[in-house]
Structure 1
Amino acid sequence: MLVAGKARLITVTGLLVVGFIAIITLSYNPSFTDSSSQYLKKWTHLHNEEQGWLGPATPVPTQKQPGQSSSEKQETIPFNPAAPKADNELPSTNPNPFAAVDKFTGQETKQEHKAPYGGSDHAPPSTGAVPAGLPTEVHGDPLHPSDVPDISKWHEIRSQSVPQGKYFPVNFYDHDNILAINPNIIPHPHYNDTWIAVAQKFDRDRPYVSGWSEELVCNAQFVAGGNLSCNLDTRGTLTVPATFSPNCHDKLMALNLNIGPHDARVAYGPDYPYLVYGSQSHYACFGQWAQDFRLLMDWGLYRGNDSGMDPFQVPTEIQRPPPWGNMEKNFYFFWDFNKTMYVHHDTAPQRVFAKVEPDGSVGPDLSEHARPSDSFCWKKHTGLNPLPDPSVTKASIHQASNSLSITMCNRGECFPNATNTFIIEIFQQKISNGGPMHARYEPFVTMFQREAPFQMHAISEKPLWIRGRNSLTEMLYVTSISWKAKDMKYEGFLDDEMFVNFGIEDSRTASIDVLAGDLVGGNLMLCDVA
């Protein structure tokens, strides 16, 4: 049978045969069992002492996990954050610029605090000590490459659905993942066991030079073997208009040859998903644009009379506080507990973020109010993970993924509040190997407060190792993260599964489904602890 992307279907009969076989294949959705079902019980070894500051435990009602029936028993895992230490106090920050001000009197107003999720502001329950984190090194493991003699220098994450815990391909053409790059996966709003997959088309066989770029989209399901594959009947292209910039000069002039979106990210906010992508800019040569993702595919009925007030109903360029670079990439949105929307522009050499408006304009850079504590945190991180000597190896830190909100307990163990709920995202160290070899990317999780001034709370002690990575020099780069279960959007808990989506060698798409507790557990360097 002819394979899509490698040969042309020349008859209607051939097309029907391919569609029929694809439907039968995609209807088979086995479930796999991870041999380490108790892994989450050992999710962290962080600071198990000095629990007294939390006070007595406050029991909370059991919360139903998305997709879980009421009769299912949930396993609980204790969480024990450390008490703040007086001798580790950080420099005080500047006055809070986030306070609401009455426009007539000029006086600060106090907004009524509403606990997220309709819960209360009780701290997480105080319980017994947590077992040390499960070591990831397995001597003689065939999935650990020979050029990595000590896997314990990384924090390995393992799939919850694929045997041996390896990552799985994301296939946009039949059972082939080599025709797309930069994948994104979010739960489908209507179908069970179905996800919306988006990636940039990679046309390696085009016989002519072209600047054309497009984003593929489809409904995807797990098939035999554990791969996530598009239902071919649903695959299409996102309709995103091209832009042009008058600001591409000299070596950057070639960027105006590009037509269409680049390196798109699709991710949920608290209410609905957004598309963020690169295209020519009004303010620089290349910038970041956003649009309400529901407008770009069949999302079902959702629009009402007030929908026109939602942000980004048309393609909107996202601005930034000055100075602008020639090429701006990988902006991501985040939201506080009141669902106020911000955009994060830079992670290093120092953070830059601002409140964003529906027209794409932004306020001043707000990162200066978190900078004293952030600088303290970055110094600790770079002490553990120094970049190579710049005179020998070119290296830099790049924002990579979108953001999500995580509450540091299992569902039913605590109510989300400012003491236990944080924003996470993944950034990467890009390290050049020199010579003709391409760079490699080492991903880290960063966690910051979900309320002003949004100071950093923790960073991975070690880079993540995605199980199944073939070698240290293999280029894996994370593009997006998302919750796996249907009806989950921005917020989640430690026992929720999530996708970490990534590209391989600028030519393939893949993902790994992990427990959130495995992503962050046993590998967090807290910023406020010396």
Structure 2
Amino acid sequence: MKIKIKLLSRAETVLSTLLALSLGLLYLLVQPRRLDSVTLELPLVEEYVRARDVHESQRPVVKHSAKFKSPLVLGAEYPLPEYTAFLNDAPDAKTLEEFDTFVSLKKRAVFEVKVASERYPMTYNPTIIALPPTSHYPFLIVSRVRGDSFEQHSLICEAKYGEQLNGDGNLEPVLQCATHARELVVPQTPAKDCKGKEFMSDVPGYHDPRVFWSARGAPMMIFNQQSRYGCFGLWMIDLRTVYPTLRYRVNRALLNQYSTVTELTRHEGRRYVEKNYLVFYDAETDAEYVQFELGHNTRHFARLVGNGLTTRNLTLSLEQSCIHLDATWHQATNAIKVVLCKYGECEPGPENTVYISFLHRKEGIKGSLKVQYFRYLAMWRTVAPFQMVGFSSKPIRFDNEDEWEQKFDVEGKFLYTVSMAWETNQNRYEGYLNENVIVSLGVGDHGNAAVVVPAVELMGGMHKCT
């Protein structure tokens, strides 16, 4: 009996030792390791800034007048001929007519966009993208709701072309929902400070949404909502998060970098109410940039480095926007990438691609509370430092725009330019001069409309920056 007790004690000792060793090994495995400190550098940004500083140090000082300033000369000839050769061609008189105060795109008629539901019969300011070829319907529309309170809502639907009878009994085209228009809900955010306008911090919902495709093919939406830095700011979200159907329309291996609402920061000159940002991408690296504003000798853009954080302003300090008219300017639409040739006639690359985007010049009507918005097209390069290369010489109007301005009896009749997109989605980020662009329009905050224009005609009224 004594021998058994002794053997049992030895077994317990061995087991206890093994258990202790196991616990010790487990502790070492799960113990957090202290990493060596490292210095993180933002890729390309520092290289870009160094190149910018070297260039500016070598540039001779040029005196500018107080009102008109020339753009920064970046070489022997600016802009490069590759970007502006097509601008030197005389516009086709059949499609473009130039008047004293505006450029008219003839035979490019505005047509109705119908988005409505039983709860929200009136919508306005539609933003449109074309869906990939594998989709059931060709378009996706997000449109704001016209309500009786301060609440902000938007409807989303997939859409297709159709026909309807007009007042004269003739058939006219219409872009209409092919799926049930339902409310698009995104997570809400609180406002940090509305500076005496506390009611703004309590306004529920988001507004002014813009939908667009990223350089890698992700469906994105940027919108206004209460800010964590001020009162209102700009936020982004991947539409696959709030409209899951899109998960089956794009590459499923594509990373969702904006799986929840992410606010876009701004280092310099931030206002407590921010509006009208647009996002674009470097053609060589797919790096993401946000342009905060573009106007009369004013431009401010920065690189997005993750989680909505941005660098300081990366605009060349001596670069001018080539917008010489001193007025109130607003960025209006998203930007799209254009290859400056017809499809199949050239190989797209940074040397022959540009971004275009609409701006609005806002002007009050004397003796009235009404305002008018005049649309202009801006064009800039697709690689750093993204210099401006072209701008509309005059405001752009469409063929039957006068009729649409009279369609709704509202204060401040205007067609507000909301978004632009390629009419067909070819699973590529850019389009060509001979391909169509669909431009969506808001009718006096009381209706939806759109117009389809070949890119070459849309850009025909532009002058190169000089």
Same-fold call, TM cutoff 0.5: yes
Asked if 1:351 corresponds to 2:299, the answer is yes
Asked if 1:513 corresponds to 2:458, the answer is no
Cα pair distance change 1:400/1:314, threshold 3 Å: same
Gaps of 5+ in 1: 1-95, 102-122, 140-149, 159-163, 388-394
Cα pair distance change 1:489/1:200, threshold 3 Å: farther
**CA displacement, residues 269-298 of structure 1 (integer Å, 9 cap, x when unaligned):** 121221100001010111000001122211
Q: Distance in 2 between matches of 1:413 and 1:138?
A: 24
Judge conservation of contact 1:211–1:257 (CA < 8 Å) in 2.
Answer: no
Judge conservation of contact 2:83–2:351 (CA < 8 Å) in 1.
Answer: no
Aligned counterpart in structure 2 of residue 458 of structure 1, from 381, 390, 395: 390
Aligned counterpart in structure 2 of residue 363 of structure 1, from 281, 298, 311: 311
Alpha-carbon deviation of 1:165?
3.2
Asked if 1:314 corresponds to 2:260, the answer is yes
Alpha-carbon deviation of 1:340?
0.7
Aligned counterpart in structure 2 of residue 495 of structure 1, from 423, 427, 434: 434
Name the aligned partner's letter for residue 141 of structure 2.
A
Q: Distance in 1 between matches of 2:256 and 2:232?
A: 25
Cα pair distance change 1:136/1:155, threshold 3 Å: farther
Gaps of 5+ in 2: 1-43, 50-80, 164-171, 406-411
**CA displacement, residues 104-150 of structure 1 (integer Å, 9 cap, x when unaligned):** xxxxxxxxxxxxxxxxxxx97999998621237999xxxxxxxxxx8
**CA displacement, residues 348-376 of structure 1 (integer Å, 9 cap, x when unaligned):** 34111111133001011101x2x42325x
Aligned counterpart in structure 2 of residue 276 of structure 1, from 222, 239, 255: 222
**CA displacement, residues 166-224 of structure 1 (integer Å, 9 cap, x when unaligned):** 1111101389x971122111112333652111111112xx4xxx322111100111111
Alpha-carbon deviation of 1:317?
0.7
Q: Distance in 2 between matches of 1:172 and 1:305?
A: 29
3-state DSSP of counterpart to 2:194: coil
Judge conservation of contact 2:417–2:440 (CA < 8 Å) in 1.
Answer: yes
| 2:4 aligned residue | none
Judge conservation of contact 2:87–2:463 (CA < 8 Å) in 1.
Answer: no
Alpha-carbon deviation of 1:304?
8.7
Name the aligned partner's letter for residue 191 of structure 1.
S
Alpha-carbon deviation of 1:339?
0.7
Name the aligned partner's letter for residue 470 of structure 1.
D
Asked if 1:301 corresponds to 2:244, the answer is no
Q: Distance in 2 between matches of 1:494 and 1:317?
A: 34
Alpha-carbon deviation of 1:226?
0.4
Q: Distance in 2 between matches of 1:138 and 1:301?
A: 40
Q: Distance in 2 between matches of 1:332 and 1:127?
A: 27
Aligned counterpart in structure 2 of residue 331 of structure 1, from 258, 270, 277: 277
3-state DSSP of counterpart to 1:351: strand
| 1:525 aligned residue | 463
User: Normalized against structure 2, the TM-score is what?
Assistant: 0.73
User: Normalized against structure 1, the TM-score is what?
Assistant: 0.64
Judge conservation of contact 2:135–2:249 (CA < 8 Å) in 1.
Answer: no
Cα pair distance change 1:236/1:431, threshold 3 Å: same
**CA displacement, residues 79-127 of structure 1 (integer Å, 9 cap, x when unaligned):** xxxxxxxxxxxxxxxxx955279xxxxxxxxxxxxxxxxxxxxx97999
**CA displacement, residues 18-56 of structure 1 (integer Å, 9 cap, x when unaligned):** xxxxxxxxxxxxxxxxxxxxxxxxxxxxxxxxxxxxxxx
Judge conservation of contact 2:117–2:182 (CA < 8 Å) in 1.
Answer: no
| 2:6 aligned residue | none
Judge conservation of contact 1:183–1:197 (CA < 8 Å) in 2.
Answer: yes
3-state DSSP of counterpart to 1:356: strand
Cα pair distance change 1:130/1:341, threshold 3 Å: closer
Asked if 1:228 corresponds to 2:186, the answer is no
**CA displacement, residues 360-408 of structure 1 (integer Å, 9 cap, x when unaligned):** 01011101x2x42325x23xxx2xxx35xxxxxxx50011110111111
Cα pair distance change 1:192/1:494, threshold 3 Å: farther
Cα pair distance change 1:303/1:157, threshold 3 Å: closer
**CA displacement, residues 329-359 of structure 1 (integer Å, 9 cap, x when unaligned):** 0111100112110011011341111111330
Cα pair distance change 1:249/1:152, threshold 3 Å: same
Q: Distance in 1 between matches of 2:366 and 2:152?
A: 29
Alpha-carbon deviation of 1:264?
0.4
| 1:257 aligned residue | 202
Alpha-carbon deviation of 1:420?
1.6
Cα pair distance change 1:343/1:248, threshold 3 Å: same
Name the aligned partner's letter for residue 292 of structure 1.
D
Q: Distance in 1 between matches of 2:100 and 2:86?
A: 27
Aligned counterpart in structure 1 of residue 150 of structure 2, from 208, 211, 222: 211
3-state DSSP of counterpart to 1:165: coil
Judge conservation of contact 2:96–2:104 (CA < 8 Å) in 1.
Answer: no
Alpha-carbon deviation of 1:417?
2.2
3-state DSSP of counterpart to 2:320: helix
Aligned counterpart in structure 1 of residue 141 of structure 2, from 197, 200, 213: 197
Name the aligned partner's letter for residue 213 of structure 2.
Y
Judge conservation of contact 1:198–1:217 (CA < 8 Å) in 2.
Answer: yes
| 1:391 aligned residue | none
Q: Distance in 1 between matches of 2:347 and 2:242?
A: 35
Q: Which has the higher contact order (CA 8 A, sep 6+)?
A: 1
Identity %: 26
Q: Distance in 1 between matches of 2:293 and 2:82?
A: 32
Name the aligned partner's letter for residue 220 of structure 2.
Y
Q: Distance in 1 between matches of 2:154 and 2:381?
A: 33
Asked if 1:413 corresponds to 2:345, the answer is yes
Judge conservation of contact 1:187–1:488 (CA < 8 Å) in 2.
Answer: no
Cα pair distance change 1:249/1:486, threshold 3 Å: same
Alpha-carbon deviation of 1:322?
2.0
Q: How does 1:134-153 map onto structure 2 within 5 Å?
A: 134-135=92-93, 151=99, 153=101
| 1:10 aligned residue | none
Judge conservation of contact 1:498–1:514 (CA < 8 Å) in 2.
Answer: yes
| 1:424 aligned residue | 356
Judge conservation of contact 1:448–1:456 (CA < 8 Å) in 2.
Answer: yes
Give the superposed CA RMSD.
3.2
Alpha-carbon deviation of 1:243?
1.9
Judge conservation of contact 1:332–1:345 (CA < 8 Å) in 2.
Answer: yes
Cα pair distance change 1:219/1:491, threshold 3 Å: same
Cα pair distance change 1:506/1:178, threshold 3 Å: farther
